[in-house]
Amino acid sequence: MKKPDKIILDHGSGGKISHHLTTEFILPIFNNPILADLDDGAIFTIGQERFAFSTDTYTVDPIFFPGGSIGDLAINGTVNDVTMCGATPLYLSVGLILEEGFPIHDFEKVMDEMGRAAAQAGVKVVTGDTKVVPKGAADKIFINTSGIGIIPKGIDVCSKNARVGDKIILSGTLADHGVTILTQREGLTFDAPVRSDSAPLNQMVKKMFAAGHAIHTLRDPTRGGAGTALNEIAQNANVGIRIEETMIPVKPEVSGICELLGFDPLYLANEGKLIAFVGPADADAVLAVMQEDEFGKDACIIGEVTAENPGQVFMETRIGGLRIVDMLTGEQLPRIC
């Protein structure tokens, strides 16, 4: 890819163009083996304990939307990133960038929702920082959160660990968050009952580990969607992935909006879903505890890991055809007709 002369929005899409920015401009500077894994969080050992550490910055327009706000998103997102490393998230930091003129009422509301989300996830915010910038230098409020957690003994999950024969479990319907944000943005006046799925997944994951030891990989398909997450796992573990279209749950109203705008739910963001790669012997037990959890009611097995086509994701379509599922390139844009 040609060297870009400016940052464009696609550099933040979570797809191939973002990946290029990370690997060409950032990774070489901070070059170290922990960062090089490019998983949801860093995994390292201090003394006898293994830790997971993750950071994420939240900018969302609008800041309040059905099913959540930038506040709970900033807590849940980092809780989930630490959880996907197999860790129990414990402590979070919060950095706030506020735009001059941001209504105090909205600020209070965001803080309230952060507090509620932290309590629900059972994590403590232990340090923080606040900056205010002149009007126009930021959009209302930007939030950075970092989180740290301990990985219990015997747990070892990362994208490289996915192995042939693993069953792929998806915890629920795809694209709810992505479509909700789209319908709330200026200019799109859909009156559809869609809600963000923003949720902390750490309690459910705890139960999953209790039910089955052969959980090899966990991933929350946020920006870039499930399609991009599955591709990253296939590439990192050098295995093939085969999923079935008919098994992938998408809410009818979400699917309808995607049809209308030409979007593929496989590439839209989720904020309360996970994908688990589980050894075949443990898959049913893990699935069963997920289905009992409020955030995994619609969990199902969507496919499995294969030896064929390493590094690639294939999907058996509804009509019995086969097609490749590639990584997202840049942000999906609504089509003309």
Partner 1 sequence: MSLKYMEEYRDADIARSLVEKIKASSKSKIRLMEVCGTHTVSIFRSGIRSVLPETIALLSGPGCPVCVTDQKEIDAFVALARVDNAILTTFGDLVRVPGTVSSLQKEKAEGRDVRVVYSTMDAIDLAVKHPDREVIFPGVGFETTAPTIAAAIKTAQQMKLANFSVYAAHKTVPRALDTLMSSELTGIDGFILPGHVSLVIGTYAYEPFFQAHHTPCVVAGFEPADILQAIWMLVEQIENQTPQLSNAYGRAVTSAGNEKAQALLDEVFETSDVAWRGIGVIPQSGLVIRDLFAAFDAGKKFDLVLPEPIEPKGCACGEILTGVKTPPDCPLYKTRCTPMDPVGACMVSSEGTCAAYYRYHG
Tell me which residue has tokens 């506020």.
98
Residues forming contacts to partner 1 in the complex (CB under 8 A) are: 1-2, 6-10, 16-17, 20, 186-188, 246, 252-253, 255-256, 259, 261-262, 264, 315-324, 326, 329-330, 332-337
**Cβ 187 to partner 1 shortest distance, Å:** 4
**Cβ 116 to partner 1 shortest distance, Å:** 33
Please tell me what DSSP assigns to residue 7.
-
Please report, in angstroms and rounded to a whole number, the separation of the first and last CA atoms in the chain: 30
54 or 228, CB closer to partner 1?
228
Q: Which residues, in sequence order, are CB contacts of 274 under 8 Å at separation 6+?
A: 80, 84, 170, 171, 201, 204, 205, 218, 219, 220, 221
**Rounded distance, CA 77 to CA 25, Å?**
25
**Rounded distance, CA 115 to CA 149, Å?**
19
**Rounded distance, CA 42 to CA 190, Å?**
39
What sign results for the dihedral spanned by CA atoms 278, 279, 280, 285?
Answer: negative
161 or 329, CB closer to partner 1?
329
**Cβ 160 to partner 1 shortest distance, Å:** 24
Collapsed DSSP state (helix, strand, coil) of residue 230: helix
**Rounded distance, CA 85 to CA 79, Å?**
10
- 3-class SS letters over 115-171: HHHHHHHCCEEEEEEEEEECCCCCCCEEEEEEEEEEECCCCCCCHHHCCCCCEEEEC
- The residues that bridge with 301 in the sheet, in sequence order, are 169
123 or 266, CB closer to partner 1?
266
129 or 139, CB closer to partner 1?
139
1 or 29, CB closer to partner 1?
1
**Cβ 283 to partner 1 shortest distance, Å:** 24
**Rounded distance, CA 63 to CA 75, Å?**
14
**Cβ 311 to partner 1 shortest distance, Å:** 12
**Cβ 8 to partner 1 shortest distance, Å:** 5
Closest CA to 161 of 65, 273, 59, 236: 236
42 or 261, CB closer to partner 1?
261
**Cβ 118 to partner 1 shortest distance, Å:** 35
216 or 251, CB closer to partner 1?
251
**Cβ 28 to partner 1 shortest distance, Å:** 19
Closest CA to 312 of 302, 303, 321, 325: 325
13 or 146, CB closer to partner 1?
13
